Structure 1
Amino acid sequence: MKTQPWQLETGAYPFSIRFNPHYSHLDTERHVNNVAVQSFHTEARTRFHMAVLGDRAWYSDDVLLRPRRTVTHFLRETHYPHEVTAAVRLVAVEDDSYRLVQALFQSGECVGVQECLMGAWGEAGWAASRWVALPDAARRALAAEQVDGQPLLPWPELPEETETFEPGPRQVALTARYADLDPDRRLSELAQARYLEQARAGSVTMLRQPNLGLLVARIDIRYQRWDTGMGEVALSSELAGIGNSSFVLRGRAAVDGRPVAMAESVMVLIDRDTHRPTPVPDALRAEMAVLQPPTA
């Protein structure tokens, strides 16, 4: 899935908010961390829901409106402390889902785009919790905000969902924290993004090379369930593909043995001196063999 020209224009988005990045959003590369960037999209989406569905739309004691999938494109580095404009456009509404396109603008440029498929999660006990139809009132309100007129690209293919955790070649244990819960006492969207970042970081660290850097170009996350709170966290990662100057890492996160999210992250290798993409060296390709999943 690539970005489209209209997604990079501020005028394409009828809803937007402005804010400044915080110092705490910075990472070791001295720009805004990828999960912090995802939090900007989450904030814009939440404010959009509040504008359309009411001021109390940021929490629920009944059906939860949650992302089923997000594809986040990191087009440029986002810098501190310059103001960011986060924009939202609702492009499709179905009986059980709706689709948003979101963009971030900084210093007159589009620095990122996210496509988000939202759904409704209904809870009736652990075994009966599942994706359900959108509440009628929410569906009608959202449909009134739909903006047509621009083509939509199909979602990239991902592996089938599984009900049991299938760890990849590299595994990481993690302790859940109270801060990982959202106001609905569920494992938050950003906590899951952090889990998947940690799964990815373990693999990336072992691939670090002198004078070479790595940038995240795209993160595609599928959120599998929203009935999970704190529990025993298990993470894993594997190599899903390799190109000329990029490769794809697939990460999985589970809580108490049940899969909660899966991500595919496109990583681009760059030359630190020129800050341009550079081919993956043969030696690094050989080292990546340990991240390949076993063949059947």
Structure 2
Amino acid sequence: MKHDAWRRQPEIYPFSGEILPRYTDVDLWQHLNNVALISLQIESVQRLLLDVADDAAWRAGPAAIGPETTSTDFIAEAYYPTPLTAAARITHVNERDIGIASALFQKGHCVGLHQSRVVSWAPDGQPVPMSAELRAAFARRMAAHPPLPPGGEPEAGHKPALAHPGNAAGGAPADSMQVLPRRPADFPAHYPLASRFGDHDATGRTSDQALGRMAEQGRVNLLTALMGPERLASPVGFMVAHVSLRWLRRGRAPSAWNAGSGVLRSGDRSITIRAQLSDGDDCHAVCDSVMVAIDREARQSIRLSDDLRAAVERLSVR
């Protein structure tokens, strides 16, 4: 997404509004936390859903609508208490789902890009076909949007979390909807994550914000295993560049999730961490996070050292 110039242009988004960050959105690096930024992107998506579908977005009928997959690129740091402009547009409508692109701007500069794939969710937590009335409403709204510039690809860069690339399904294209969940015990790091009452949204399902929070904890647990408990004092750190979240099932959260995380793949300067949330052995969601190695003082990307590469190999998903 970050290479699509049109996504960074505020005027390309016909739906926009101001969002105020909260002090609780600030992390120990004194900028807005990645989970908070994902939540603000999803807030923009939800406001557009409400603007088009009204109560049908989350109150009316047995099948409420909400994201199945989300992809977020972090472009620049954002700061409290400066307001942000949250902007969104519909990118596709079909029988199964709708696509929504969103972006966050602060002081006129783009700080983040986002793409959601929204579906209808049945009470049993499974996606179901969207009603004809909803599809028609979103299609009418999309038809009223200004056209994308020549060459603009509305779904480019949207890469939902995928299966581990070591089996037959691992060669699926980057935008494949197929995910092969693994057992939590198959991950080099696995641990329980307690649910909170506030993890449920207005429909009684586990919220997107809760998934983002637990995926972040999976990243932190894996980075601690990778670099040791004193990793925050190390001159080498990791910066989140991209996060993809994917729901396989959406329902009420168990009292505790069975979570697992590991390194999915590595490059010259980055690693991709896979986190998975399961109720017992039943996988509900997966998350892939691209983490770039940086020199903390210079704030520049660096190559992975031989020691880090050895640790990455030890903590890889098999």
Greater Cα shift, 82-91 or 42-51: 42-51
Structure 1 residues 232 and 256: CA distance shift in structure 2, 3 A: farther
Structure 1 residues 76 and 2: CA distance shift in structure 2, 3 A: closer
Structure 1 distance, partners of 2:196, 2:89, is 33
Shift of 1:151: 1.6
- Cross-structure match for 1:265: 289
- Cross-structure match for 1:182: 201
Structure 2 distance, partners of 1:254, 1:142, is 33
Structure 1 residues 193 and 85: CA distance shift in structure 2, 3 A: same
Structure 1 residues 254 and 24: CA distance shift in structure 2, 3 A: same
SS of 2:141 mapped into structure 1: coil
Q: How does 1:142-291 map to 2 (within 5 A)?
A: 142-146=138-142, 147=145, 148-149=147-148, 150-152=152-154, 153=156, 155-156=158-159, 158-159=162-163, 160-162=178-180, 165-167=183-185, 168-206=187-225, 207=227, 208=231, 210-291=234-315
SS of 2:127 mapped into structure 1: strand
CA contact (8 A) 1:181 1:230 kept: no
CA contact (8 A) 1:70 1:117 kept: yes
Structure 1 distance, partners of 2:289, 2:44, is 22
- Cross-structure match for 2:70: 70
1:140 paired residue among 121, 132, 136: 136
Per-residue CA deviations over 1:47-69 (Å, capped at 9, x if unaligned) read: 11121112563434511212111
Structure 2 distance, partners of 1:61, 1:188, is 19
Counterpart amino acid of 2:20?
N
Structure 2 distance, partners of 1:45, 1:58, is 13
Shift of 1:162: 4.4
Structure 1 residues 139 and 187: CA distance shift in structure 2, 3 A: same
SS of 2:81 mapped into structure 1: coil
Structure 2 distance, partners of 1:144, 1:108, is 29
Shift of 1:232: 2.7
- Cross-structure match for 1:7: 7
Per-residue CA deviations over 1:149-170 (Å, capped at 9, x if unaligned) read: 4323264371143477444111
CA contact (8 A) 2:269 2:303 kept: yes
Per-residue CA deviations over 1:97-138 (Å, capped at 9, x if unaligned) read: 010110000111100000111111123xx4xx5211111221
Per-residue CA deviations over 1:245-294 (Å, capped at 9, x if unaligned) read: 11111110112432111011000111122111111111111122221123
Shift of 1:81: 0.9
CA contact (8 A) 1:212 1:270 kept: yes
Instruction: State the TM-score, normalized to the length of structure 1.
Output: 0.92
Hey, which bits of structure 1, 4+ residues long, moved more than 6 A? Answer: none
CA contact (8 A) 1:164 1:258 kept: no
Per-residue CA deviations over 1:153-201 (Å, capped at 9, x if unaligned) read: 2643711434774441111211111111111111111111111111111
Structure 1 distance, partners of 2:70, 2:22, is 23
Q: How does 1:98-113 map to 2 (within 5 A)?
A: 98-113=98-113
Counterpart amino acid of 1:244?
D
Q: Percent identity?
A: 29
How many residues align? The count is: 290
**Residue ranges of structure 1 left out of the alignment (5+ in a row):** none
CA contact (8 A) 1:67 1:116 kept: yes
Instruction: State the TM-score, normalized to the length of structure 2.
Output: 0.86
Counterpart amino acid of 1:54?
D
Does residue 43 in structure 1 map to residue 43 in structure 2?
yes
Per-residue CA deviations over 1:63-109 (Å, capped at 9, x if unaligned) read: 12121111100011111111100100101000110101100001111
Greater Cα shift, 97-106 or 240-249: 240-249
**Residue ranges of structure 2 left out of the alignment (5+ in a row):** 164-177
SS of 1:198 mapped into structure 2: helix
CA contact (8 A) 1:41 1:102 kept: yes
SS of 1:54 mapped into structure 2: helix
